[in-house]
Amino acid sequence: DQQVKQNSPSLSVQEGRISILNCDYTNSMFDYFLWYKKYPAEGPTFLISISSIKDKNEDGRFTVFLNKSAKHLSLHIVPSQPGDSAVYFCAASRAYNTDKLIFGTGTRLQVFP
């Protein structure tokens, strides 16, 4: 049973445009969410997180939106750059148990010139 789902396995975006990566979760106990980026042959790199008390968190070109009622979060990258091409994982946990991250299946983003 996949508690965190990324239904788009891949996404292709032109440089300079917005990339929107989506993530859905089923467990209503989750209240802390993270996005990681992974290049080939490297471990995941933390990008941005959001707590359920917020609906938006912004860090430079990266913004994460959380819709608790829909159990949905999204990562917006504006403007997209070729160096953003990677696999993006969303992850979720329960705040009192943040040692146990549940990862989504990942979305491969390709940003082309």
Q: Of 16-24, 40-48, 56-64, 67-75, which part binds another protein (CB under 8 A)?
A: 40-48
Q: Which of residues 65-104 bind another protein (CB under 8 A)?
A: 89, 93, 95-101, 103-104
Q: Does 106 bind another protein (CB under 8 A)?
A: yes
**CA-CA-CA-CA torsion for 49, 107, 111, 21, nearest 10 degrees?**
-50
Question: Dihedral of CA 80/36/4/41: which sign?
Answer: positive
Least gap, CB of 67 to another protein (angstroms): 22
| Residue 105 binds another protein, judged by CB under 8 A | yes
11 binds another protein (CB under 8 A): no
**CB distance 74 to 65 below 8 Å:** yes
What is the radius of gyration, based on Cα positions, of the chain?
13
**At its nearest, how many Å lie between another protein and the CB of residue 23?**
11
Q: Please state the closest distance from residue 20 (CB atom) to another protein, in A.
A: 20
Residue with smaller CB distance to another protein, 38 or 76: 38
Distances (CA, A) of 92 to 39, 41, 44, 80, 85: 20, 23, 15, 24, 22
